[in-house]
Amino acid sequence: IQPHLKIFPRTVHGEKRRAFSKTWYSQHKWLEYSQSRDSVYCFACRYFSIPNASETPFTSHEGYSNWKKAMYKDGGFKGHEKSEGHTNAMYAWSEHQKNILTDSSVRDALDKAYKKKVEENRIYIKTVAEVVLLTAMQNLSQRGHLETDTSQNKGNFLELMELLSKHNPQAAGNAKYTSNTIQNEVIECLSEMVREDIIREVKESEYFSVIADETKDLKKTEQLSLVLRYYYNGAVQESFLEFQRASQLDAAGLTQNIIQCLERYGLEYRSNLVGQGYDGASVMAGKCRGVAARIKTEAKHAFYVHCNAHCLNLVIVDAVKSVPEAHCFFSLLQKLYVYMSGSYVHQKWITVQKDMYPEAPRELQRLSDTRWACRYSACKTVMDRLPAILRVLHEIDLENSGDRSVEARGLLAQIDLTFIGNLSTFRKILGEIKLLSDVLQSPSLDLAKAVDLIHALQDTLDQYRSESCFDELWQDRESLRLKGYFREVFYPILDHVHAEMEKRFNKTNCDIMRGIQALNPKSKSFLSEEIVVSLAGLYDCDIEDLKHELYQARKVVQRRAGCGNELSSILGFTTFLESYKEVFHQLFRLCRIALALPVSSATCERSFSKQRCLHRLHMLHMLQSKDK
């Protein structure tokens, strides 16, 4: 301890008052000064003397304080320095300092090497994770058929790792972390990171809907896909959460699966779950004991929405079943696809197209039993390539090659003006329906926009029933004498489609649907107090505050429209209100609820497509492992 005081205490020594001088510190490094005793000590002798060393004034309790003799040549400080005990103590102190420096250097070196290794490992494991993520996102198999050092192709994952190591030495580590176990752990970590972000966004957005659908995987195990829909950061999000194995397919079992999932991730579904989106199966949509009804008993605001894309598909199915001519037409279309897919006929089909058309050959489309709107592509291809189809069938008929020629002759006989009329009819109708079907599957679509599009399709079908539209459709046909017959087919199809749409999409009497429309800037009832208040009552809003907000919101929107910044959708209106959410708290809450309500379960179906790809890759890898 070497305190540097401005003034040290003075004591009488002989005839003068003397004091300790701080300059002595620099002359004698071993000095220690005690302010309480006004004495000095020898640091080296006190801590590094040999055992049982004799006591000196510099090691005693009182210390040394004879400032008069402190700087004598043969006494004081210099006299102490010449003593053998001090010399040994100073040597021991010096060795101790060397050891400290050496140990510190070693520790610093080891610490530096450790930090460097940690950083290299982090870079390497990050590279491994990025390669795993790349192969997963690009739907590439990771494992190779043979992954030994002598293999010419070790698989996508190892080959990418070797390529990166050539350009970045840090991408080549001693610990490889390339086993399938590590890959699965990395994928699980990445998925958990994504899932945590989704849960965080849902909790911040507060209000959400759950969308669920189930299907069988390649192992015939029932899988339940769960998707959350919510408004976040100026956009509507539909985020896939997870697959769940559905051991019980009754309403109670599926309800338990959904609720347990929401509870596991800490989501406040009792107060914040505002919507449910499922298909129309009775186990999901049953009014008394279905999944939707059971969840609504737990979450009173969870409004059920039947998947609109599924409803539209059922419209076409029921309309076709109601018109026998239409049902026969699609059966013939499927027979034509099957016949043209045969190896011999298909080769001739390609050759004829190359000879007749400058564009690339087209393939006939297989008819989907679940996506009827996609049958538009089948009708369009057949109509555009009908001359080539007739030529192929006619050539095979002339070949007299047994069953193949007999089938061609039978198909030719059925491709008459009736078939062509049905083809034109369904190409027209399905073209309009497919446009709506594609839009309904958009994750960002809200219910208000969906209702507008459905009404627009109904208006279009009503226009098709007019004489002028019918004449325009058939003006290029060779035989106008069949006009009356086609009216007997065309009009019934339109009538059945229109009736089914009225039955399945008639939600105008629903307070929630009317309330959502009242939040749409393009609606005639936009910000109608009666309708919006009715909606607010279903979600326990503060009615008095809401009425004041509605009045102010109308004024603000009018001023905005006067400046040329007119709002066009609920999403745009919600984004606008977000900047003033402290002022329009109740109205902003209703808009978020409206956007969170589901439109379709298409996102679940997209997850099924990915699941099938993953299972195919997994089964392929298992087969390769058996071959090894």
- Please report the DSSP string for 452-482 in residue order: HHHHHHHHHHHHHTSHHHHHHHHTT-S-GGG
Give the residue with greater pLDDT, 465 vs 376.
376
Identity of the amino acid at 471 = D
pLDDT at 610: 66
Q: For residue 16, give both structure tokens.
A: 């003068």
Q: Given a cut of 80, is residue 10 above it in pLDDT?
A: yes
Q: Given a cut of 50, is residue 480 above it in pLDDT?
A: no
Beta-carbon neighbour count of residue 182 at 10 Å?
16
Q: Given a cut of 70, is residue 475 above it in pLDDT?
A: no
d(CA 564, CA 151): 67
- SS3 category, 42: strand
pLDDT at 513: 79
Beta-sheet pairing, 16-19 with 10-13: antiparallel
Q: Given a cut of 90, is residue 606 above it in pLDDT?
A: no
- SS3 category, 223: strand
Identity of the amino acid at 98 = K
Q: For residue 502, give both structure tokens.
A: 């009225």
Q: List, for residues 488-519, the tens digit of each pLDDT value.
A: 777 788 888 888 887 777 654 466 778 888 88
Overall average pLDDT of the 213-224 stretch: 78
Q: Tell me which residue of 539, 559, 602 sits closest to 274, measured CA to CA.
A: 539
Q: Given a cut of 60, is residue 477 above it in pLDDT?
A: no
d(CA 479, CA 424): 14
- Could you identify the residue written with the tokens 């870079």? 123
Overall average pLDDT of the 222-238 stretch: 89
Give the residue with greater pLDDT, 391 vs 606.
391
pLDDT at 196: 92
- Could you identify the residue written with the tokens 């679509």? 445
pLDDT at 483: 59
- As a whole number, the mean pLDDT across the chain is 82
Give the residue with greater pLDDT, 4 vs 407.
407
Overall average pLDDT of the 116-124 stretch: 80
Helices (H), 529-601: 529-538, 543-562, 570-578, 585-596
pTM strictly above 0.75: no
Of these ranges, 158-162, 229-233, 310-314, 325-329, the one predicted with the greatest mean pLDDT is 229-233
Q: Given a cut of 70, is residue 616 above it in pLDDT?
A: no
Beta-carbon neighbour count of residue 203 at 10 Å?
15
Q: Would you say 362 and 381 are in contact if contact means Cβ atoms under 8 Å apart?
A: yes
Overall average pLDDT of the 155-168 stretch: 77
Q: List, for residues 392-447, the tens digit of each pLDDT value.
A: 999 999 988 888 899 999 999 998 877 887 888 888 888 888 887 777 777 777 77
Q: Given a cut of 50, is residue 479 above it in pLDDT?
A: no
Q: List, for residues 246-257, the tens digit of each pLDDT value.
A: 778 788 888 898
- What does DSSP assign to residue 64? B
pLDDT at 70: 85
Q: Would you say 275 and 592 are in contact if contact means Cβ atoms under 8 Å apart?
A: no
CATH number of 188-307+601-612: 3.30.420.40
Q: Given a cut of 50, is residue 292 above it in pLDDT?
A: yes
Q: Residue 225 forms beta bridges with which residues? A: 213, 243
Q: Is 120 exposed, middle or buried (0-12, 13-18, 19+ CB in 10 A)?
A: middle
Q: Tell me which residue of 530, 567, 529, 531 sits closest to 548, measured CA to CA.
A: 529
Give the residue with greater pLDDT, 309 vs 77.
77
d(CA 21, CA 291): 92
Q: Given a cut of 50, is residue 109 above it in pLDDT?
A: yes
Q: Would you say 597 and 445 are in contact if contact means Cβ atoms under 8 Å apart?
A: no
Q: Is 207 exposed, middle or buried (0-12, 13-18, 19+ CB in 10 A)?
A: buried
- SS3 category, 241: strand
Q: Given a cut of 60, is residue 52 above it in pLDDT?
A: yes
Q: What angle do CA 19, 23, 27 make, to 5 degrees?
A: 120
Q: List, for residues 557-595, the tens digit of each pLDDT value.
A: 888 888 878 888 888 899 999 888 888 999 999 999 989
Identity of the amino acid at 428 = K
Mean pLDDT lowest for which of 85-89, 128-132, 549-553? 128-132
Residues, the chain: 628
Residue 194 makes CB contacts below 8 A (sequence gap 6+) with: none
CB-side exposure of 77: number of CA atoms within 13 Å? 21
Report which secondary-structure segment, H or E, holds 426. helix 417-440
Beta-carbon neighbour count of residue 534 at 10 Å?
15
Q: What are phi and psi of 288, to 5 degrees?
A: -105, -50
pLDDT at 373: 63
Give the residue with greater pLDDT, 16 vs 482.
16
The CA-to-CA distance between both ends of the chain, in Å, stands at 75
Cα 509 to its chain centre, rounded Å, is 35
Q: Given a cut of 70, is residue 106 above it in pLDDT?
A: no
Residue 171 makes CB contacts below 8 A (sequence gap 6+) with: 123, 124, 127, 161, 164, 165
Beta-sheet pairing, 303-306 with 39-42: unpaired
Q: For residue 440, give both structure tokens.
A: 């309904």
Mean pLDDT lowest for which of 118-122, 336-340, 528-532? 118-122
Identity of the amino acid at 1 = I
Overall average pLDDT of the 78-98 stretch: 87
How confident is residue 623, by pLDDT bands cut at 50, 70 and 90?
Answer: very low
Overall average pLDDT of the 511-531 stretch: 85
Q: For residue 367, give both structure tokens.
A: 């008819």
Q: List, for residues 354-392, the tens digit of each pLDDT value.
A: 999 999 999 988 887 666 666 888 888 998 999 999 999
The domain limits of the chain are: 10-82, 94-178, 188-307+601-612, 322-505, 511-596
Q: Would you say 376 and 427 are in contact if contact means Cβ atoms under 8 Å apart?
A: yes
DSSP 194-220: HHHHHHHHHHHH--EEEEEEEEE-TTS
Give the residue with greater pLDDT, 567 vs 13.
567
Rg (CA), the chain: 42
How confident is residue 218, by pLDDT bands cut at 50, 70 and 90?
Answer: low
pLDDT at 27: 87
pLDDT at 478: 45
Residue 504 makes CB contacts below 8 A (sequence gap 6+) with: 306, 311, 314, 315
Q: Residue 17 forms beta bridges with which residues? A: 12
Overall average pLDDT of the 47-55 stretch: 85
Q: Given a cut of 60, is residue 217 above it in pLDDT?
A: yes
Q: Given a cut of 50, is residue 47 above it in pLDDT?
A: yes
| Proportion of the chain in helix, strand, coil states, percent, rounded to 5 | 60, 10, 30
CB-side exposure of 354: number of CA atoms within 13 Å? 6
pLDDT at 372: 64
Q: Would you say 277 and 238 are in contact if contact means Cβ atoms under 8 Å apart?
A: no
Identity of the amino acid at 292 = A
